[in-house]
């Protein structure tokens, strides 16, 4: 049984940032486990630019952003194991993993940082009716085919969902000579960043249909067409609005789901809203000594935010190992609830006696709110307010609250006030 002070599961941007922060905090016995054959995670296949504007004040591609993180890991000589699949995590922080070099092995950690990232919703998760031909793929799979493997996934594509990866792939498809017939979005608004709608669809004259969905896939050996229909407020297809779009590929970009099988195995309390772990303001879960960060905690819009959050997780994991941070105890913390228009709130608990003077609350609006304001009420009193030109689900919101406001409070709520 190998002993590790801080064990980090996942070698993407979250895992590497957490490892570097734990090292800077004074812990040296650190190990990163990564199931791929390289560090960097999903960034390795994101060849478009737009990364690093907040963190490095310059525009980088995904591989360039990842390379900077990898350079830090190598400079600090933080050990990592590639092609290593974690099979189990127990509440007492015992980890079972395997790789081709060592076979099955066990680790005992003093603290664990969960940084496994997220996965895409597939056709099966969306339950789209029709035949089962080739040519139905997720946006991330198409990105890998095109950018890493050198294959065109199709010649005529319909995209279901306006997630950021799907929007970016729509632009790249056109630049590669593929015809993008249409982007179809179930909601009356896009789930992607506003800049991606403009730069990836509008600039390339790619049509976008809101309040619409694919109700049938047609074709035998290969997709031949899809049937699209308008949906009502209940998100159910409206009879008589059906139309058939000929295509050979259906690309699905309908959201991401945190990879939390290991979190559940460890007995971590899960949030039905974020689909990730419930954490306090140190990013510690309900299991003492297990921390979560990045897209496995809640799906982010910017990798810069993933890195910043993960640094906090790594720093706090190191503090836990060094005896500077107490084990999590949600019964002694102030619960923070989601109010009107708020979804995916993190953290869900705040300690009134934490080290920092302020607490950052992050969430996504559940709908589009022009002129709305995000507000935090603690014990019934307004503790923070942030007005925006528009609040949209495609962009994460942040509220900074003074920790002193949580003193002697029974609870807090974050909500959106319209036209305030």
Backbone dihedral angles phi then psi of residue 212, each to the nearest 5 degrees: -140, 160
Dist. CA 243–CA 221, nearest whole Å: 22
Note the pLDDT of residue 420.
58
**Residue 347, preceding bond cis, omega within 30 degrees?**
yes
Which residues 6+ apart lie within 8 Å of 331 measured at CB?
none
Task: Determine the 3-state secondary structure of 81 from DSSP.
Answer: strand
Domains, the chain, ordered by start: 1-120+256-327 (3.50.50.60), 122-254 (3.50.50.60), 329-420 (2.60.40)
C-alpha torsion sign, points 391, 393, 394, 395: positive
Residue 58 C-alpha from the chain's centroid: 22
Instruction: Find out whether 279 and 114 touch, Cβ atoms under 8 Å.
Output: no
Q: What is the per-residue pLDDT across 131-144, written as a single tens digit (0 to 9) for each?
A: 999 999 999 999 99
Note the pLDDT of residue 123.
84
Token pair, residue 36, equals: 């791929």
Instruction: Find out whether 412 and 350 touch, Cβ atoms under 8 Å.
Output: yes
Mean pLDDT by 10 residues, the chain (420 residues): 96 98 98 97 92 94 97 98 98 98 97 96 86 93 93 95 90 95 92 86 94 96 97 94 97 92 97 96 98 96 94 98 96 96 96 91 93 93 93 90 93 89
Dist. CA 220–CA 169, nearest whole Å: 25
**Pairing between strand 156-160 and 136-138?**
unpaired
Residue 227 host element (H or E): strand 223-230
Token pair, residue 363, equals: 């969430």
Note the pLDDT of residue 265.
95
Residue 82 C-alpha from the chain's centroid: 22
The burial class, CB within 10 Å (0-12 / 13-18 / 19+), for 370 is exposed
Nearest Cα neighbor of 336 from 384, 388, 290 is: 384
Dist. CA 294–CA 22, nearest whole Å: 15
Dist. CA 395–CA 197, nearest whole Å: 12
Buried b (16+ CB within 10 A) or exposed e, 38-64: ebbbbbbbbbbebbbeebeeeebbbbb
């Amino acid at each position: 049984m190998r002993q590790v002070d801080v064990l980090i599961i996942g070698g993407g941007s979250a895992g590497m940032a957490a490892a570097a922060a734990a090292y800077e905090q004074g812990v040296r016995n650190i190990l990163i486990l990564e199931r791929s054959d390289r560090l960097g995670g999903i960034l390795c296949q994101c060849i478009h630019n737009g990364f690093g504007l907040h963190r490095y004040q310059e525009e980088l591609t995904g591989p360039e952003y990842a390379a900077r993180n990898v350079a830090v890991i190598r400079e600090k000589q933080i050990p990592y194991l590639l092609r290593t699949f974690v099979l189990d995590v127990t509440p007492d922080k015992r980890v079972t993993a395997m790789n081709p070099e060592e076979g099955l092995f066990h680790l005992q950690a003093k603290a664990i940082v969960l940084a496994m990232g997220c996965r895409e919703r597939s056709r099966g998760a969306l339950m789209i009716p029709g035949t089962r031909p080739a040519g139905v793929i997720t946006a991330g799979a198409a990105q890998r085919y095109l950018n890493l493997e050198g294959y065109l996934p199709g010649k005529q594509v319909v995209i279901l969902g306006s997630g950021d990866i799907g929007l970016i792939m729509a632009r790249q498809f056109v630049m590669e000579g593929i015809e993008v017939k249409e982007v179809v979005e179930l909601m009356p608004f896009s789930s992607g960043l506003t800049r991606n709608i403009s730069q990836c669809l509008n600039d390339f004259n790619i049509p976008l249909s809101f309040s619409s969905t694919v109700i049938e896939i047609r074709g035998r050996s290969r997709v031949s067409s899809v049937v699209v229909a308008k949906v009502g407020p209940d998100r159910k297809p409206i009879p008589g609005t059906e139309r058939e779009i000929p295509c050979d590929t259906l690309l699905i970009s309908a959201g991401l789901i945190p990879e939390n099988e290991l979190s559940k195995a460890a007995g971590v309390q899960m949030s039905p809203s974020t689909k990730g772990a419930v954490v306090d303001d140190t990013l510690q879960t309900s299991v003492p000594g297990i921390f979560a960060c990045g897209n496995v905690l809640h799906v982010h819009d910017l990798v810069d935010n993933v890195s910043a959050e993960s640094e906090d997780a790594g720093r706090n994991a190191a503090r836990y190992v060094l005896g500077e941070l107490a084990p999590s105890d949600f019964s002694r913390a102030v619960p923070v609830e989601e109010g009107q228009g708020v979804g995916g709130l993190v953290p869900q608990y705040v300690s009134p006696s934490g080290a920092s003077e302020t607490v950052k609350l992050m969430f996504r609006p559940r709908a589009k709110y022009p002129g709305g304001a995000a507000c935090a009420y603690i014990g019934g009193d307004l503790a923070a307010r942030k007005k925006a030109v528009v609040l949209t689900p495609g962009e994460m919101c942040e509220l900074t609250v003074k920790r002193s406001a949580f003193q002697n409070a029974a609870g807090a709520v974050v909500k959106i006030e319209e036209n305030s």
